Amino acid sequence: MSATESPSPSARAAAPAAVPAKTPATVPGTLSATAPGVARRLLALNLVRLRAQRGWSQEALAHESGLHRTFIAHVERQVRNASIDNVERLADALGVSVAAMFQPPPDPPAG
């Protein structure tokens, strides 16, 4: 035990943020810092972008990643929630890191 040398017996209860706010920054009218499904979208965006950048077809990517053609199509359409194990496989097939799949796309020059 002694996970953290907490001065108090009930560490969690005595912790400064003992009771973490359930709705911290959910200001009415303000979107959450991280919207639900942002990962799915980022993954899809980067997936389509990287794939098109290489001139690969969904079938080719599916073949490279060892996944099925239909699955690739679903992920790109955000109708399917892939697991990290498959996301890594996709990233490996594209030659990028898993973190890159969730990296925000390079904002295009406005002018």
In the bound state with a second copy, the residue whose beta carbon lies nearer, of 59 and 70, is: 59
90 touches 61 (CB < 8 A): yes
10 touches DNA by CB under 7 A:
yes
59 touches 69 (CB < 8 A): yes
Angle at 66 between CA 61 and CA 38, to 5 degrees: 60
Interhelix angle 69-76/38-54, rounded to 10 degrees, is 120
45 touches DNA by CB under 7 A:
no
Q: Contact positions toward a second copy, by CB under 8 A?
A: 3-4, 6, 11-12, 15-17, 20, 32-34, 36-40, 42-43, 52, 54-57, 59-60, 63-64, 81-85, 87-88, 91-92, 95, 97-100, 102-103
92 touches DNA by CB under 7 A:
no
Residue 16's binding partner out of a second copy, DNA, none, with CB under 5 to 8 Å set by partner kind: a second copy
The footprint of DNA on this chain (CB under 7 A) covers a number of residues equal to 26
Query: Cα separation of 61 and 90, whole Å?
Result: 8
